[in-house]
Amino acid sequence: MKKIIVLLFLFVGILQVSAQKYATKTGSLKFEATVDAVEEIAAENKNTSAILESSTGDIAVLTLMKGFRFKVALMEEHFNENYVESDKFPKATFKGKVEDFDASKLSATAKAFKISGDLTLHGKTQKVTANAKISKSGDKITVTGNFDIKAQDFDIEIPKLVSNKVSNKIKVSFNLLLAKL
């Protein structure tokens, strides 16, 4: 019986060690598809959820398309209605891994990493690789970075009429302040 109790504690111990998750519900995700400086096509979602498993470097991010805020309300409406079709495809997700991640080597000074994985958007999944910087102070891990995607890779149609205003190449950037769970 004593053995069992010891084993039990051991298991619980393992559980606690391996369950080092860091997460946020208020991460920032921005994108920009501006062609010229005349009309900025950009939006930010400040309610992006993200979770990082620090023992493995696994990372998952989820954001709701209707949570993106544009400067111009009509742009936001067109974005949801015509471009990403938010009623049909309400969310975008990313599931990937921070390459060569070692939580014990993180410090307050940001280190460069690559994060690669699957981005699902508008019902399409594509591999993406982001350049990221990760720092840690106390119980908080900050992950920032950016990557580029192409609208056509996700079947997001940009009409010819606005192709001189809306870029097919979209710059995505993120800023995630993850707190220990």
The DSSP line for 127-148 is EEEEEEEEEEETTEEEEEEEEE
* Cα 131 versus chain centre, distance: 12
**Cα–Cα dist 139/149, whole Å:** 32
**Cα–Cα dist 4/156, whole Å:** 57
**Shortest gap between Cβ of 107 and other proteins (angstroms)?**
24
Contact residues: other proteins, CB under 8 A? 1, 4, 7-8, 11, 15, 18-19, 21, 23, 25, 39, 47, 49-51, 53, 58-62, 64, 66-67, 72-74, 77-78, 80-82, 87, 90-91, 93, 95, 157, 159, 161-162, 165-166
In the bound state with other proteins, the residue whose beta carbon lies nearer, of 16 and 109, is 16
What one-letter code names the amino acid at 15? Answer: L
**Shortest gap between Cβ of 154 and other proteins (angstroms)?**
16
Token look-up 């069992």 returns 4
In the bound state with other proteins, the residue whose beta carbon lies nearer, of 61 and 172, is 61
What one-letter code names the amino acid at 22? Answer: Y
**Shortest gap between Cβ of 91 and other proteins (angstroms)?**
8
**Shortest gap between Cβ of 95 and other proteins (angstroms)?**
5
